[in-house]
Structure 1
Amino acid sequence: MLPEWLLRHTAIVEPFEGDGAYGPVYGEPYETRCLVDDERRLVRDAQGAEVVSDTTVFLPPGTVCPEGSRVTVNGRVTTVITSFSRNGGGLPTPDHVEVVCR
């Protein structure tokens, strides 16, 4: 797990649940500790298209944050491009969830 001292920021996550008659539907928002990396980089989304990401958020293991979710960090509302579970399978690695946002 990421060391607690690295989780210097707070994020509000609204998990994407699907599309409704009036647009995206989000689950109940929750607050979690995180580490924010504001760096512009080119990434691929779930469909394989190249997209520019402005923010990467590192969350505790087990955090649910699917593609399309809204994440508010540092006063900015971002949309999740994709997320990855980084799990070392028992190795002494900093397990976490990496969330790449627009």
Structure 2
Amino acid sequence: MRVPGWLLRHEVTVEPYLGTSAYGPRYGPPVTARALVDETVKQVRDRTGAEVISTAQIIAAPGLDCPPGSRLTLPGGRRTTAISTAQHTAPGLPVPASTEVNAE
């Protein structure tokens, strides 16, 4: 079971982080995805375990390619960076699968 499309009321643009080159960070081509965006300030942990502040939380369909470090453009045009990404699944349970992204 996937998160219902009618709940995904916003559109975000994701430029997936590909790594670092001699010229700085590299990003994949931009992809537009339907999502539910909540611009709330929350304390979260990044991939190293450090406590950081997230100013936007994004719920999208499962399988969204948005590794930490990816660039995001939110519905209002604000550009931000992904702090952490989690794929939520619960096979056999009546809860929807989704991708959760916490952004700076």
TM normalised by structure 2 equals 0.94
Q: What's the CA shift string for 1:16-70, capped at 9, x where partnerless?
A: 0001112110011111100001110111101011100000011101111101001
Compute the RMSD of aligned alpha carbons: 0.8
Which contiguous aligned blocks of 4+ residues in structure 1 show a shift greater than 2 angstroms?
Answer: none
What are structure 2's unaligned runs of at least 5 residues?
A: none
TM normalised by structure 1 equals 0.96
Aligned-partner Cα distance in 2 for 1:60–1:50: 26
- Mapping of residues 1-102 of structure 1, within 5 Å: 1-74=2-75, 75-102=77-104
One-letter code of the match for 2:41?
R
Could you tell me how far 1:100 is from its partner in structure 2? 0.3
- Name the one with the larger strand percent: 1
Give aligned-pair identity as a percent.
47
One-letter code of the match for 1:84?
A
Could you tell me how far 1:84 is from its partner in structure 2? 0.3
The number of residue pairs the alignment matches comes to 102
Aligned-partner Cα distance in 2 for 1:90–1:13: 30
